[in-house]
Chains A and B, each alone.
Chain A
Amino acid sequence: MDKRLKLQVADYMDTGWTYDNSPELRAMIDSIPNGKDFYEALLKSQAKLKAFFGSKELTKSINNLDAFVDKALKEEKKRSFLLPLNAFLVASCALLFGLNLFMQPVEVVERQPFFNLPETMPQPMVTVAESSPSLWKLADGLNEEMDASIYQVMFGIYLYNMDAFNLSMNSMRADKALVVPDKAFIKSLSQKTSKDFVKTFTS
């Protein structure tokens, strides 16, 4: 039988034509020797192919594979959740281990004071009015030390010890001790104001 005709028969059969339902196909098969045998062989081989590749066993196998896909993807999902967690833990451990290699042992250093305080603090200079004959004489002894005018010293002592005077700078109380103010206080007083103030008591 001609190969070309065989192909044509196979092609017609592929479109759904059969010996019974298609006069054209029937005519073609009948016109060639052994045509009917070939047609039967084609039908048989197609049936065998369907029986082998379209069996229930194959359908069952496809279902098994679908179930396998579900299971595999579920496990993959679990794994994909655990993987970053495990990676994070491993990375953390590696980092800690790596840092330990470079870290120096800790030395305990005693804390040093910011500044050293002397054991004995300077006490304010106290003098008793009784021992000082007058404010002028007391100031006269201090003004060089304070690097200030005598009026500034007098005015400073007066302001610092108001309760040791009976209102006037001239009348010092004998029962009160005088506290000599520090140099900064004396220097902060205006020379002119100090002088004017003192003059008000002497004039």
Chain B
Amino acid sequence: MEATNLFDFYTLPKAAEAKAKTVKPSKPPTLKEALKLMTPKLLPYAMTLVGHVQNAEDLCQQTLIKLIENEAKFLNAEYPYAYARKILKNLFIDKYRQDKRTDNLEDINLEPIYEQNLDASLEHRDLLDCLAKHEETDRTILGMLGAGHSYQDIQRFLGGISLVNLRVKASRARTTLADCMEGNNG
């Protein structure tokens, strides 16, 4: 099966990139490679939604199963990372709907369910509380930056956002988070 290389798995430094172009085109990843590159990015995102590693892992497992089932769509998607993120988000919404018994998407889309994880370590409580006040994209950016991902990675994961815009959003999110944690929202 032919797959796109929109994952940009084989991104090389600029000097090496010019050389590589003359040698051979980069090879699209296999499903296994793609999934393994996906998990480190999915997990922080899942954590921004559920606020707990164990629950995030469960959510990621369900997402991976869905991705395996939809192998062709996933590998040929224009934004494979964004496709995976969308699946995870939908699974989260399903779970949330199941728990909260609500059908109003506006209520649940951007609202994380940290309150279900009261057993989560209390030292992160203030961070989670402040993250909950941010919108979904900002939470994702902060979570992925915290997990050590580059802006390029985050850009691919979010899909359809310029790097400049992303950096501005990241700075704003950092500022508001710092304000919130310091308790001076004014």
Complex contacts, A69 vs chain B, CB 8 Å? 32, 35-36, 39, 64
Given contacts A7-B175, A53-B146, A61-B57, contact A72 B65 (CB under 8 A): yes
Q: Output the nearest chain B residue to A47 by Cβ-Cβ distance.
A: B146
Q: Report yes or no: B39 in contact with A66, Cβ–Cβ below 8 A.
A: yes
Question: Which of A10, A62, A64, A69 is most buried by chain B, counting CB atoms within 10 A of its CB?
Answer: A69
Complex contacts, A45 vs chain B, CB 8 Å? 127, 130, 174, 177-178, 181
Which of A35-43, A117-125, A130-138, A192-200 is the interface stretch? A35-43
Q: Give complex CA distance A175, B31 in Å.
A: 106
User: Interface size (B, Cβ < 8 Å)?
Assistant: 44
Bitwise interface map of B from 44 to 66 toward A, beta carbon under 8 Å scored 1, else 0:
10010000011011001100110
Q: Give complex CA distance A37, B178 in Å.
A: 10
B68 close to A (CB within 8 Å): yes
Q: Give complex CA distance A68, B61 in Å.
A: 7
Q: Give complex CA distance A62, B40 in Å.
A: 6
Q: Give complex CA distance A50, B172 in Å.
A: 18
Q: Report yes or no: A10 in contact with B182, Cβ–Cβ below 8 A.
A: no
Q: Report yes or no: A14 in contact with B53, Cβ–Cβ below 8 A.
A: no
Complex contacts, A173 vs chain B, CB 8 Å? none
Complex contacts, A6 vs chain B, CB 8 Å? 175, 179
* Total A-B contacts with CB atoms under 8 angstroms apart: 112
Q: Give complex CA distance A45, B67 in Å.
A: 34
Task: Pick the contact of A7: B43, B61, B127, B171 (CB < 8 A).
Answer: B171
Interface size class of A (residues with CB under 8 A): 35 or more
Give the interface SS of chain A, mostly helix, strand, loop or mixed.
Answer: helix
Q: Report yes or no: B127 in contact with A65, Cβ–Cβ below 8 A.
A: no
Bitwise interface map of A from 23 to 51 toward B, beta carbon under 8 Å scored 1, else 0:
00000000000100110011011101111
B143 close to A (CB within 8 Å): yes
B124 close to A (CB within 8 Å): yes
Task: Pick the contact of A49: B40, B43, B143, B184 (CB < 8 A).
Answer: B143
> Which residues of B are at the interface with A, using a C-beta cutoff of 8 A?
31-32, 35-36, 39-40, 42-44, 47, 53-54, 56-57, 60-61, 64-65, 68, 124, 126-128, 130, 142-148, 167-168, 170-172, 174-175, 177-179, 181-182, 184
Would you mind naming 9 contact pairs between A and B with Cβ atoms under 8 Å apart?
A6-B179, A37-B182, A38-B178, A45-B130, A48-B124, A49-B143, A62-B40, A70-B32, A76-B68
* 6 tightest Cβ-Cβ pairs between the two chains A and B: A49-B146, A53-B146, A41-B182, A41-B178, A53-B147, A65-B39
Q: A7-B172, A51-B124 are in contact. List 8 more A-B contacts (CB 8 A).
A: A6-B179, A13-B174, A14-B171, A14-B174, A49-B146, A50-B146, A70-B32, A73-B35
